Amino acid sequence: MKIYAHRGASHDFPEMTALAYENAVKQGADGFECDLRLTKDGVAILWHDADLKRRADNDAIVAETKLKKLKAIYPQILTLDEFLDFGISEKKSLLLETKHPVPSRTKIEEVIIEKLKKEKSRIKKAEIDITVMSFSWFAVEKIKALNKEISTTYLLHDYTPWLTARYSSAQSIGPGINLLRKNPALAKRIKSTGRKLNVWTVNDAADIKLCHQLGVDNLITNRPGYAREVLSKIWFGD
């Protein structure tokens, strides 16, 4: 089971900042996860919310604001280019989540696919995996339509109908830990379709142990160092 740092080591550092990802490396993460949105001038940036209120106490809306102004409000914002450069330099696999619904619809997927195409040789040389994820079934299918070689994950809410997961083209399915805790049989159901199992956001020892027992492939956590400690005890004893 691989450990992915959810928005970096975000339990201890500001989410999706260089500091969070640098410390995720120190904490032993196998890879990094991020959320992506497009700015008004079409730049893919690492940002979860539609606006800057929660993280910067500012009402600016990402889709309606150019990168330069967003950087002036919150200088720690990272672009997809910067994130890819860091992942490649550290040889860490990446999970890229696209947020929906957005005004530009599936434009963000087009931007990501084009960027991955340009960086294909560097990604291959670094020997890292890059997966694009979304809660939007249509976004996942859009990615496959643009480039069948790109690895994808279809993320599940607690209320997501199973049929959408069953007929998704994604190579992996991503339920939240709350859903898996309520319905552990879902892990076997997903595995029976030949897909990998990526679970978010797993921060407690009991949940980390549950993921190990259920054969989760990729564990997404705010606490990569702690997850590593818990798994080490399982694998090697106290």
- pLDDT tens profile 112-146: 999 999 999 999 999 999 999 999 999 999 999 99
State the Cα–Cα distance between residues 190 and 197, nearest whole angstrom. Answer: 7
Is residue 61 in some structural domain? Answer: no
Is residue 152 in some structural domain? Answer: yes
| Residue of 165, 117, 157, 115 lying closest to 141 (CA atoms) | 165
pLDDT at 154: 98
Q: What is the mean pLDDT of residues 11-31?
A: 98
The proportion of the chain whose per-residue pLDDT surpasses 70, expressed as a percent, equals 100
8 Å CB contact between 199 and 176: yes
Question: Residue 193 is part of a domain; what is its CATH number?
Answer: 3.20.20.190
For 29, 226, 227, the CA distances from 219, given in Å and listed in that order, are 10, 12, 9
Q: Token pair for residue 3? A: 């450990």
pLDDT tens, residue by residue, 205-217? 999 999 999 999 9
Is residue 58 in some structural domain? Answer: no
Q: Can you tell me which residue has the tokens 């500091």?
A: 19
Is residue 65 in some structural domain? Answer: no
State the Cα–Cα distance between residues 181 and 200, nearest whole angstrom. Answer: 11
pLDDT at 187: 98
pTM of the predicted model over 0.85: yes
pLDDT tens, residue by residue, 57-85? 999 999 999 999 999 999 999 999 999 99
Mean pLDDT of the chain: 97
Angle of helix 107-118 versus helix 80-90 axis, rounded to 10: 40
Q: What is the mean pLDDT of residues 21-32?
A: 98
Q: Token pair for residue 27? A: 């904490």
pLDDT at 226: 98
pLDDT at 237: 80
| Residue of 200, 196, 205, 206 lying closest to 170 (CA atoms) | 196
pLDDT at 238 over 80: no
Q: How many separate domains does the chain show?
A: 1
147: phi > 0 → left, psi -120 to 50 → alpha, else beta; which?
Answer: beta
Is residue 40 in some structural domain? Answer: no
Is residue 114 in some structural domain? Answer: yes
Q: What is the mean pLDDT of residues 138-157?
A: 96
Q: Which domain holds residue 118?
A: 2-32+86-236
